[in-house]
Amino acid sequence: MEDRKRRQNSTDGIPAKKSEGAYEYMSGFGNEFASECLPGALPEGQNNPQRCPYGLYAEQLSGTAFTAPRETNKRTWLYRIRPSVKHYPFQEEESGNYTNNFDNSPVTPKQLRWKPFDLPTAGGVDFVKGLHTVGGAGDPCTRYGAAIHIYSCNSSMGNRAFYNADGDMLIVPQLGTLFITTEMGRMEVAPNEICVIQQGIRFKVDVVGPSRGYILEVWGNHFVLPYLGPIGANGLANPRDFLTPVSWYEDLETEHTIVAKFQGKLFTAKQDHSPFDVVAWHGNYAPYKYNLKNFMVINATAFDHADPSIFTVLTCPGHMAGTALCDFVIFPPRWAVQDHTFRPPYYHRNCMSEFMGLIYGNYEAKEGEFMPGGASLHSMMTPHGPDEKCFTGASNAELKPVRVADNTQSFMFESCLSLKPTTWGLKTCEKVDDDYWKCWQNLPKLFNPNQK
């Protein structure tokens, strides 16, 4: 396989390319990118010439309606060796534990916590075969909803490629680095990094050993950076730290299998060539990655505990202004300096659903109990908060500046939807911690009407 590198282009004359090992990226969030492997492969001054350079085919990939406002319109032009329409008919395939149908899912308002999800015990489990749905809500057919999945795999996808016709996928590796090939280029995504692969983009995942992580799938909108409001122009996840791959292609005339997720089901189609044959592309609809260590933390410095929305990396807007279909929030290493304040997360009942995962380390409100590779779900209006050990310690701690969450990275998928766990999530996986509720039972009664 020959590694094809792009000729650098930039709108302001300053190269935006960044190299990480064998992988190269362009910097920025939602930019109008342009990338080519061969000089002059991008048509000049138009998108769809009568004959494309090098005998390529022009193909547009639309991520929004043609008539979406310009500030939200998403599309990319691909210049490829063969058009993606060249494949044999699709056939339905067994979807396993991967689903978007929550009509018959169990319903429970109780606090849920999962022990670390299992890694495969048999060989040959690739990224798609290793998808398991924990829960979700909504319907991809009506274009509004979300699902949360675990991937657990130990094998590369080889000559298989996947695309999601229903929505975008935000992938959070927890164990093992993912080597992702997409139509626009290649990405290396390690634990403590994330990537987003949008609706319709074909990709495959290679791994070098047992790998596990979390996926947030959204239908109906795309992820954007949150508004900063009075924070100002800088802070949280800065646009320049998002990386989009440069163009890369392979010209292979061997059988490949395309796995399509459509209306919550999986379908496969054979074709006689690699789908990763895009020699050049330009547009603003392309996958990207982000390193969570680059998040610029903003926190309370005088008193009280800031709401967790201050840690939002990406948000997928919902129908109601200011209310997310889904937020991706992290709780990174930081300083805690507040005076006369209970510093850990406060006790809470929320009109949103909160799904948490732990990439590595110890989560401050549940140290030693909430494990990397596990998860928790606190549903709408279900009470949650620090356990007795955390409460007692924080209530009596000396309030000096201290480091919080060093060597730890936890995150939250927060949604306005009332998420329903799947049968796999509640029963089949056999990872639900049935004793989770007990962590609050030793909270003492401290009330004394005679002592303020």
* Residues recognised as catalytic: 305, 348, 354, 378, 384
Locus of tokens 């075969």:
129
Which residues does 340 contact at the CB level (< 8 Å), separation at least 6?
303, 399
Say how many C-beta atoms besides its own lie within 10 A of residue 235's C-beta. Answer: 13
Nearest-angstrom CA–CA distance, 26 and 240: 9
**One-letter identity of residue 194:** I
